[in-house]
Structure 1
Amino acid sequence: MVTIIDEGRDRSKDGVEINRVKDKARLAVQDAGRIAMTYFRQRFDHWEKSPGQIVTDADIAIDRFLHEALVDEANGDGWLSEETPDDHKRLDRRRVWVVDPIDGTRSFAAGLPEFTISVGLLVDGHPVLGFVFNPANGDFFEATAGQGAKLNGRPLHATWRQSLEGANIVVSSSENKSRHFADYMPGANLTTIGSLAYKLCLVAAGRYDGYLTWRRTHDWDIAAAVLVLEEAGGLISTPDGQPILLNRAEPWHEGLIAGGPALHQAVLDTTAKAYGHLRGHR
């Protein structure tokens, strides 16, 4: 389980504060979804911020809105977002908002309903609140540390599937074209959709049994969804089984494996050799 508060602190005060912030954050994410839908399938500007990485007017508008709505300067909140330069001030802050204004920007720009708004709150490096919202279909995932995860108000539970045979695994379409993950997980059924945060939440909801990527991911992709998944009983790690550590100086991770408790280990064991070979050739 996630450890939220350092020993020696008044935990009751922290709990009250988190519940107050949760209501504000939920409304902000819902409003951000409405902003996203004013751009979705409309004409808007988009450009490459780096090779293969696009950003749109909607990303920038939502990023600015969420920063204004969420950050409490008097409380010393930190901020980490895909669309804001990282000045590392967050490393000295106890509370840090981790945001991807549109996760799955390429799908969003293509008019595909496979994108989300992802907002997580970290306290002492641990996720305590997580919101992942797909405004195109209304899927609203949320989690509070120690209180479970929900989809549109209904409790979530990851699956208890143990075997990869017949398991439903969700992966990235573009990555699967180059990795051919089916070669490493024979018998599994692979599905591809957009938005990393969305994929993790769908595993939390039991719509898929597991998720795998060997690509580099960032805190803003996963901070909210990690909490949703773990509060639904799922597990997540790096492809070599190491825990996910958030709000480090370099906020990225070399791949992820996620799933229910039994399947997570099965994916780790089945793909370990191939992943080790890949790392050896990087």
Structure 2
Amino acid sequence: MPEADLELIVQAAEKAGQIALAHWRGTFRHWEKDEGAGPVTEADLAVNAALEQALRAARPDYGWLSEESPEDPRRATAARVFVIDPIDGTRAFISGEDGFAVAVAVVEDGQPVAGVVHQPARGVTYAAAAGQPATRNGQLIRPRKARLEGAEVLTTKAALDPAFWRGRRVPRIRRSFRPSLAWRLCLVAEGRFDATLSMRPVWEWDVAAASLIAVQAGCTVTDRRGRPLGFNRMPPLGDGLIVAPPGLHHELIAALDVEPPEPAQAGPGRAAG
């Protein structure tokens, strides 16, 4: 089943990417969402509509969770759920940059079992299914080994605030940034960077697909406290993010100044943690 779902979502994401490209660097409307939720464009909504039409027609019993859709109450009890970010990196899209992505995952029992991160402007598709290797344009990808001192880390400037680090000592790392959070995870998965982290809450649609790709490539993926990620939660928001190869992930957990993990609680329609 994960392999069949992966084929479906890869095809859907790549077709939807063509819709995004038809708007990109053209004239389109964009505006700010309510309550500081960030920008949205005509392209986001068009891509979301195309994905919903294709995926729900193919899997009508699956639930639906998308950044650009109203809440679907059926997702709480659905055996499988599509988790969608129609355009991850909307600000980059508006600016004409090529780092945006279409991210689609299938989540079962709180964990992603198929995921695709497609970058239409770059002609790149990252993909993985549970139990299968992660790929970039069909080629296997793996993270690279690194130590914390000198590591190349994708994160925001805010994450390097000394308040987040034990002893108020920020490690000597080289910070970079990419506009799409899903892309950041994939860059770590393919060994272009050593780690990515967020001390801020992260939305499930930003990381569901890419977290599976990173795990299947060989990374450890947790929240900022070292707890496993869970998906299809209410609300769909996680407590930060740390993605790195196992050794570096261990070093990051040891260096960050956060409380120890609490025992994970399992709930209906969601994963523990």
TM-score (structure 2 length as normaliser): 0.88
Measured on the aligned residues, the alpha-carbon RMSD in Å equals 2.0
Helix, strand or coil for the counterpart of 2:240?
strand
The answer as to 2:247 corresponding to 1:262 is yes
Describe the superposition over 1:232-269 as per-residue Cα deviations: whole angstroms up to 9, x where unpaired. Answer: 00011111111101111211012111100101111111
Closer, same or farther: CA 106–123 of 1 in aligned 2, 3 Å: same
Question: Could you tell me how far apart the structure 2 residues matched to 1:184 and 1:151 are?
Answer: 36
- Structure 1 position 67, deviation (Å): 0.4
Q: Please identify, of 234-243 and 223-232, the stretch whose mean Cα deviation from structure 2 is larger.
A: 234-243
Partner letter of residue 171 of structure 1?
A: T
CA 1:254 to 1:20, structure 2 compared with 1: closer, same or farther past 3 Å? closer
Superposed counterparts of 1:1-282, under 5 Å:
15=1, 18-50=2-34, 51=36, 53-72=38-57, 75-161=60-146, 163-172=147-156, 175=158, 184-271=169-256, 273=257, 275=258
1:109: how far off?
0.7
Output the TM-score relative to the length of structure 1.
Answer: 0.85
Label 1:60 to 1:74 Cα distance change in 2 as closer, same or farther (>3 A): closer
Alpha-carbon separation, structure 2, partners of 1:208 and 1:31: 28
Deviation per residue, 1:191-218 (Å, 9 max, x gap): 0111100000111011011011111111
Contact 2:85 2:206 (C-alpha < 8 Å) held by counterparts: yes
Query: What 5-or-longer segments of structure 1 have no aligned partner?
Result: 1-14, 277-282
3-state DSSP of counterpart to 1:66: helix
Aligned-partner Cα distance in 2 for 1:178–1:187: 13
Long gaps (5+) in structure 2: 260-273
- The offset of 1:60, in angstroms, is 0.2
8 Å CA contact 1:172–1:193 kept in 2: the answer is no
Structure 1 residues 164, 42: closer, same or farther in 2, change over 3 A?
A: same
SS in 2 for 1:225: helix
